[in-house]
Amino acid sequence: MTWQEALMGAVGVLFAGAITVAVIVQVAAVWRARMSVTREEAYRRLAEESTEAQQETARQLAVANAELATIRERTTALERVLKEVGEPWER
């Protein structure tokens, strides 16, 4: 084997190694991109679920406030009636 053949063999090995490294880097980049997309979709779903839960909580709070207002009105009316009934007995 001559030095030219040895040099060509070494260049061929280096070229094959460079191609292998480039392929590995590209495969890793594609894998990272896919993982990023998966993670972003999970965050989007989490944000949607959080928004839905927040809207449901706001709806339930509005219902509770309406019921509380009704209870306050009824309590005020009941107190008024009790005062009216109790006045003749207090004199």
Burial 26-39 (b: 16+ CB within 10 A, else e): eeeeeeeeeeeeee
Of the CA atoms within 13 Å of residue 9, those in its CB half-sphere come to 6
89: pLDDT strictly greater than 70: no
Burial 62-78 (b: 16+ CB within 10 A, else e): eeeeeeeeeeeeeeeee
Burial 4-20 (b: 16+ CB within 10 A, else e): eeeeeeeeeeeeeeeee
Q: Determine the pLDDT at residue 27.
A: 97
Q: What's the pLDDT band for 90 if we cut at 50, 70, 90?
A: low
- pLDDT tens digits along 25-76: 999 999 999 999 999 999 999 999 999 999 999 999 999 999 999 999 999 9
Q: What's the pLDDT band for 15 if we cut at 50, 70, 90?
A: very high
